[in-house]
C-alpha cells in the first residue's frame, strides 16, 4: 500500500487540496463565528441542529459533505506523509499505513453517519 | 571604469591529495562589467593555474558553468560581479553532485537518467519519407516550446531538495524533457515513457518545492512541467486501470 | 575519488528560505486534517440527534482551548487556500490559440469563484 498506487494517492491529494482551498476557509469561518457567538444560554445563533440536519438530509448535501471530508482527509494524510519524510522521519511505510488508514476509516465513518441522517 | 573588489572563496578539491574539500580565498579586482565567470577566469589566468572548472560560451547557451554562487545554483557567466561588490562570495561546485575536482562535478547520474526518459520522438510506425514531414501548427509547437530551452546546466538538480534526499529521483531537467516529448503533437511515446515516469523515483519523488524553476537560468520552469506530468501520469494510470492504457 | 558532500536529512529545509516556505506549506496539512476530523465529528453528532449535537459537539467548540485551536486552524486554512491558488496555474496552464493565458488571470479566476462561493455559503448559513 505504501509503495504502489502513488498515482491514486496523489490524485486524491490534488483533488483534496483544490477542494479544501475553495471550501474550507468559509466553513472554518462559520465554525469560528458559531464558536464565538454563544449567547448566555450557550446555544450559538448559527450552525443550529435543524439547519445542519436539513443540510445533510438531502442527497446533494450528503454527497457534498462526504466528498469534502473524505478528500480533505486523503489530502492531509498524503501531504503529511511527504512532509514527515522531509522532516527526516524514515518510517515512510508506517506513516503511510497510519495516515491512509485514518483517512480510510474517516471515509467509511462519514458515509455511515451521513446515510443515517 | 571603476573597479569592483571581490573576495572569492573557492572550494578546492584535488582527488589525488585531499581527503575533503577546503576553501581557498582569492582577492580579485574586477572590472565593472565583468561576470563572476570573468573573475574566476582571472584567477585561473593570473593567480592560480591549478584551478579547475568548466566553461565554454560565456553567453548562457552551453550550460557548462553552473556552480553554487553564494549558496545558489547559477551560471557564472550570467551573474554580474556588481551583485557581490565588496563582499565575500562563496563559489562551490553544483550541490547534490559528487565533486570530480575543484568546481567540476560528476554528471554521470544525470546522463543516465536523461537516457531513461527517451528524449526523442517516438512513433508507433514511422511514416515513409514519401508521405512527407510530420506537420505541426504554431499552437502545437508553443505548447512545449518552453521545455525545449533547457541547456542541461543542472542548476535545477542543485536546487532540488528531493534530489538531494533521494538520489534515485529522476529530477527536474530529465522530467521536463520527458514532458516536452509527451506534449509534442508528433510524438506517440507517452505510454512507453509512462513505465519509467510512473515509478516512485519517476515523477512521484517531486514534492513541488518550485526551487528548480527559481534556479533555472533559461526559464524552462521544470516545476510546471513536472506538475503537468503528474497529472498526465495519473490519467494514464487510471486509463491502464480500466484497460485503456495505450495512447 | 570523487568527493560526495554530506546532506542533512533532518535540517535541509532550514538552509534556504524557499525550502522553509515549502515545508510550512506541507505542514498546513496538519490543520487541514484536524478540521476534516472536526467536520467528521460534527456529522457524527448530527447523526446522533439534537441533544448529542449540542452537548457533544457545538458546546465543545466554545471552550477557550478549542477557540484558540479554531483560530489557528482558520488562519492556516486561509493560508493553504492562497498558497494553493498561487501554484495552480503552473499545474494547469491554459492555452488559448497560440498563447498561454497569463498565470495571474487563472489565479484571479480562482479567487473570484472562491469569494463568490464563500459569500453564498455565508448567506445561506445565516451569518448575514
Q: Which residues in chain A touch residue B207, judged by CB atoms under 8 angstroms apart? A: 82, 86
Lowest mean pLDDT, pick from A31-35, B12-16, B72-76, C124-128: C124-128
Question: How many structural domains is chain B composed of?
Answer: 2
Phi, psi dihedrals of residue B26, rounded to the nearest 5°: -130, 130
Tell me the torsion sign for CA atoms B74, B78, B81, B82: negative
pLDDT value of position A2: 42
**pLDDT-derived band at B203, boundaries 50, 70, 90:** very high
Phi, psi dihedrals of residue B152, rounded to the nearest 5°: 55, 40
Return the SS3 of B240: helix
Q: What percent of chain B has pLDDT over 70?
A: 98
Is residue B3 within 8 A of residue B89, CB to CB? The reply is no
Number of helical (H) and strand (E) elements in chain C, helices listed first = 4, 2
- The 10s digit of each residue's pLDDT in C34-79 is 999 999 999 999 999 999 999 999 999 999 999 999 999 999 999 9
Asked whether residue B113 falls in the same domain as residue B95, the answer is no
Q: Of B46, B75, B105, which residue constitutes the final position of a domain?
A: B105
Asked whether residue B113 falls in the same domain as residue B212, the answer is yes
Domain enclosing residue B153, as ranges: 108-241
Is residue B168 within 8 A of residue B79, CB to CB? The reply is no
Give bridge partners of residue B75 from the DSSP assignment. B66
Residue B245 has pLDDT above 90, yes or no: no
CATH number at residue B133: 1.10.1060.10
Helix axes C17-47, A6-36, angle to 10 degrees: 70
Q: In 3D, which of A79, A57, A53, A78 has the Cα closest to residue A2? A: A78
Asked whether residue B83 falls in the same domain as residue B146, the answer is no
In this prediction, residues C27-35 reach a mean pLDDT of 98
Q: What value of ipTM does the predicted structure carry?
A: 0.94
Return the SS3 of B131: helix
d(CA A110, CA A76): 16
pLDDT value of position A40: 58
Q: State the CB neighbour count (10 A cutoff) for residue B142.
A: 14
In this prediction, residues B155-179 reach a mean pLDDT of 97
In this prediction, residues B59-85 reach a mean pLDDT of 97
- The 10s digit of each residue's pLDDT in B98-145 is 999 999 999 999 999 999 999 999 999 988 999 999 999 999 999 999
Q: Average model confidence (pLDDT) for chain B?
A: 95
pLDDT value of position A41: 58
Would residue C113 be called left, alpha or beta, if left means φ above 0 and alpha means ψ between -120 and 50 degrees?
alpha
Q: Taking CB atoms and an 8 Å limit, are C58 and A88 in contact across chains?
A: no
Asked whether residue B157 falls in the same domain as residue B85, the answer is no
Nearest to B161 among C12, C90, C92 (CB): C12
Residue B1 has pLDDT above 60, yes or no: no
Domain assignment present for B189: yes
d(CA B90, CA B9): 5
Asked whether residue B88 falls in the same domain as residue B207, the answer is no
| Contact pairs from chain A to chain B, CB under 8 Å | 23
Domain assignment present for B214: yes
**pLDDT-derived band at B3, boundaries 50, 70, 90:** confident
**pLDDT-derived band at A36, boundaries 50, 70, 90:** confident
In this prediction, residues C95-99 reach a mean pLDDT of 94
Q: Which residues in chain C touch residue A11, judged by CB atoms under 8 angstroms apart? A: none
Q: Average model confidence (pLDDT) for chain C?
A: 96
Cell numbers of A101, please? 488508514
Lowest mean pLDDT, pick from A2-6, B26-30, B98-102: A2-6
Q: Of B80, B105, B130, which residue constitutes the final position of a domain?
A: B105
Min distance B237 CA to chain A CA atoms (Å): 7
Asked whether residue B132 falls in the same domain as residue B229, the answer is yes
Instruction: For Cα atoms A72, C92, B160, give the angle at the middle one, nearest 5 degrees.
Output: 80
pLDDT value of position B2: 66
Number of helical (H) and strand (E) elements in chain A, helices listed first = 4, 0
Q: Which pairing describes strands B3-12 and B88-92: parallel, antiparallel, or unpaired?
A: parallel
DSSP state of C26: H
Q: Where are the domains of chain A?
A: 6-116
pLDDT value of position C21: 97
pLDDT value of position A5: 81
Which residues make Cβ contacts (< 8 Å) with residue C102, sequence separation at least 6? none
Which residues make Cβ contacts (< 8 Å) with residue A50, sequence separation at least 6? none
* B 99-158 near C (Cβ less than 8 A): 99-100, 106, 138-139, 142-143
Q: In 3D, which of A12, A111, C1, A11 has the Cα closest to residue B100? A: C1
> Buried (b) or exposed (e) across C90-114, using 16+ Cβ within 10 A?
bbebeeeeeebeebeebbeebeeeb
Asked whether residue B137 falls in the same domain as residue B232, the answer is yes
Nearest to B211 among C18, C87, C99 (CB): C18
In this prediction, residues B8-17 reach a mean pLDDT of 97
Q: State the CB neighbour count (10 A cutoff) for residue B116.
A: 17
Q: Of B90, B105, B120, which residue constitutes the final position of a domain?
A: B105
Asked whether residue B97 falls in the same domain as residue B175, the answer is no
Stated as kind and residue range, the H or E segment containing C104 is helix C103-125
Q: Taking CB atoms and an 8 Å limit, are A11 and B198 in contact across chains?
A: no
Residue C37 contacts A where some CB pair is shorter than 8 Å:
yes
Q: Taking CB atoms and an 8 Å limit, are B71 and C19 in contact across chains?
A: no
Residue B183 contacts C where some CB pair is shorter than 8 Å:
no
pLDDT value of position C128: 78
Asked whether residue B100 falls in the same domain as residue B211, the answer is no
Q: In 3D, which of C82, C26, B81, B55 has the Cα closest to residue A13? A: C26
Give the architecture-level CATH label for domain A6-116: Up-down Bundle (1.20)
d(CA A57, CA A114): 8
pLDDT value of position A3: 46
Domain assignment present for B124: yes
Domain assignment present for B246: no
Asked whether residue B71 falls in the same domain as residue B189, the answer is no
Asked whether residue B34 falls in the same domain as residue B117, the answer is no
CATH number at residue B12: 3.10.20.30
Q: Taking CB atoms and an 8 Å limit, are B230 and A10 in contact across chains?
A: yes
**pLDDT-derived band at B229, boundaries 50, 70, 90:** very high
Q: What percent of chain C has pLDDT over 90?
A: 95
Q: Which residues in chain C touch residue A79, judged by CB atoms under 8 angstroms apart? A: 26, 28-29, 32
In this prediction, residues A73-84 reach a mean pLDDT of 97
In this prediction, residues A26-53 reach a mean pLDDT of 83
**Strand B22-31's sheet: what is its strand order?**
B22-31, B3-12, B88-92, B66-69, B72-75
What is the DSSP annotation of A3-60? SS-HHHHHHHHHHHHHHHHHHHHHHHHHHHHHHH---TTS--SSS-HHHHHHHHHSHH
Domain assignment present for B247: no
Domains by residue range for chain C, with CATH: 16-91 (1.20.1300.10), 92-128 (no CATH)
Is residue C20 within 8 A of residue A46, CB to CB? The reply is no
> Buried (b) or exposed (e) across B143-175, using 16+ Cβ within 10 A?
bbebbeebbbbbbbbbbbbbbbbeeebbbbbbb
Asked whether residue B63 falls in the same domain as residue B163, the answer is no
In this prediction, residues B20-44 reach a mean pLDDT of 97
Amino acid at each position: 500500500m505504501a509503495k504502489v498506487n502513488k498515482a491514486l494517492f496523489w490524485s486524491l491529494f490534488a483533488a483534496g487540496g483544490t477542494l479544501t482551498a475553495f471550501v474550507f476557509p468559509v466553513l472554518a469561518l462559520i465554525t469560528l463565528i458559531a464558536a464565538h457567538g454563544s449567547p448566555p444560554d450557550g446555544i450559538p445563533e448559527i450552525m443550529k441542529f435543524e439547519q445542519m440536519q436539513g443540510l445533510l438530509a438531502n442527497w446533494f448535501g450528503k454527497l457534498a459533505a462526504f466528498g469534502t471530508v473524505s478528500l480533505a482527509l486523503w489530502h492531509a494524510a498524503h501531504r503529511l506523509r511527504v512532509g514527515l519524510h522531509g522532516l527526516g522521519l524514515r518510517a515512510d511505510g508506517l506513516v503511510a499505513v497510519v495516515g491512509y488508514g485514518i483517512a480510510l476509516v474517516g471515509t467509511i465513518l462519514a458515509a455511515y453517519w451521513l446515510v443515517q441522517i | 571604469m571603476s573597479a569592483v573588489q571581490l573576495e572569492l572563496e573557492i572550494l578546492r578539491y584535488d582527488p589525488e591529495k585531499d581527503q575533503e574539500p577546503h576553501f581557498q580565498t582569492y582577492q580579485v579586482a574586477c572590472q565593472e562589467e565583468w561576470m563572476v565567470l570573468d573573475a574566476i577566469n582571472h584567477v585561473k589566468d593570473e593567480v592560480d593555474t591549478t584551478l579547475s572548472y568548466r566553461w565554454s560560451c560565456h553567453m548562457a547557451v552551453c550550460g557548462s558553468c553552473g556552480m553554487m554562487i553564494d549558496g545558489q545554483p547559477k551560471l557564472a557567466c550570467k551573474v554580474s560581479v556588481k551583485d557581490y561588490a565588496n563582499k565575500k562570495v562563496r563559489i562551490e561546485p553544483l550541490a547534490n553532485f559528487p565533486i570530480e575536482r575543484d568546481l567540476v562535478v560528476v554528471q554521470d547520474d544525470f546522463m543516465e537518467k536523461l537516457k531513461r526518459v527517451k528524449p526523442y520522438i517516438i512513433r508507433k510506425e514511422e511514416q515513409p519519407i514519401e508521405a512527407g514531414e510530420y506537420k505541426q501548427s504554431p499552437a502545437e509547437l508553443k505548447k512545449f516550446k518552453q521545455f525545449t530551452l533547457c541547456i542541461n546546466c543542472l542548476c535545477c538538480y542543485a536546487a532540488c531538495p528531493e534530489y538531494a534526499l533521494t538520489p534515485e529521483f529522476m529530477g527536474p531537467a530529465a522530467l521536463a524533457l520527458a514532458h516536452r516529448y509527451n506534449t509534442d503533437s508528433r510524438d506517440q511515446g507517452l505510454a512507453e515513457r509512462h513505465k519509467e515516469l510512473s515509478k516512485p523515483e519517476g515523477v512521484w519523488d517531486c514534492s513541488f518545492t518550485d526551487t528548480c524553476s527559481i534556479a533555472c537560468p533559461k526559464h524552462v520552469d521544470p516545476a510546471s512541467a513536472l506538475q503537468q506530468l503528474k497529472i498526465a501520469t495519473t490519467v494514464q494510470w487510471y486509463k491502464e486501470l480500466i484497460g485503456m492504457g495505450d495512447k | 575519488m570523487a568527493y560526495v558532500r554530506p546532506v542533512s536529512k533532518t535540517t535541509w529545509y532550514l538552509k534556504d528560505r524557499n525550502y522553509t516556505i515549502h515545508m510550512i506549506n506541507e505542514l498546513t496539512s496538519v490543520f487541514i486534517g484536524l478540521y476534516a476530523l472536526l467536520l467528521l465529528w460534527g456529522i457524527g453528532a448530527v447523526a446522533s440527534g439534537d441533544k448529542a449535537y449540542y452537548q457533544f459537539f457545538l458546546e465543545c467548540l466554545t471552550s477557550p482551548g478549542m477557540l484558540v485551536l479554531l483560530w489557528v486552524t482558520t488562519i492556516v486554512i486561509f493560508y493553504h487556500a492562497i498558497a494553493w491558488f498561487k501554484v495552480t496555474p503552473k499545474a494547469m496552464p491554459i492555452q488559448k490559440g497560440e498563447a498561454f493565458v497569463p498565470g495571474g488571470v487563472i489565479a484571479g479566476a480562482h479567487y473570484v469563484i472562491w469569494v463568490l462561493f464563500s459569500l453564498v455559503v455565508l448567506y445561506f448559513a445565516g451569518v448575514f
